[in-house]
Amino acid sequence: MFNIFHREKTKIKAVSDQDLIPYLKSLNIYEDVLMGRVSCKFCGRKINIDNLQALLPHGQKICFICSNIKCLTHLHHD
């Protein structure tokens, strides 16, 4: 059993498919994704609703990661 008093956890933030569009709208980036105006930070592939896999904060910008697993494996934050 986990130590009841040791409640520190590793949090993973996730968005489900059913919440994806409202979430993108709340971030004001839905139009950009819909119109194909953004691309994957790592491979440069155009991002659309189907191939969007992750969102990454980078400085003052929101970056997009595609569903190519090679791009997902670049993800890490200290």
Partner 1 sequence: MINEICLKFGLEFLCPIIQRLPVVLLYGFLFFFFLKGFIDFLANFIPQIETLKSKVYLPLAKKKAFKKLSKQAIKSDIKGGVNTAILKFASEFPMGWLKPMEIEWVSNQSSEDFLDDNEIVIRIRPVENQNINFVTAVYYFLRKSFFPKTKRIIPESHLEASVLFTSRKIIQSEKPELKNLFEDYILEPEVDKNVKILNILEKYENIDKQGFFTSTFLREIHAVASEVKWTSMRSEMPREISEILKHIEDFMDHYNNGVKQDKWTDSIPAELWTRLGPVTNYGFLLIAMPYKVTSGVNAYVNRAKNNIQNGIVRLYVFGAESERSFADKVIKAIEFQVPEYKLTERFKLSHDYRGGVGGIGALFVKR
Binding partner 1 (rule: CB under 8 A), the pick from 12, 30, 35, 43 is 12
Burial class (CB in 10 A: 0-12, 13-18, 19+), 56: middle
Q: Is 38 in the site for partner 1 (CB under 8 A)?
A: no
Contacts made by residues 14-20, CB under 8 angstroms, sequence distance 24+? 20/49, 20/52
Q: Is 13 in the site for partner 1 (CB under 8 A)?
A: yes
Binding site for partner 1 (CB under 8 A): 1-2, 4, 8-20, 22-23, 26-29, 52-57, 60, 62, 68-70, 72-73, 75-78
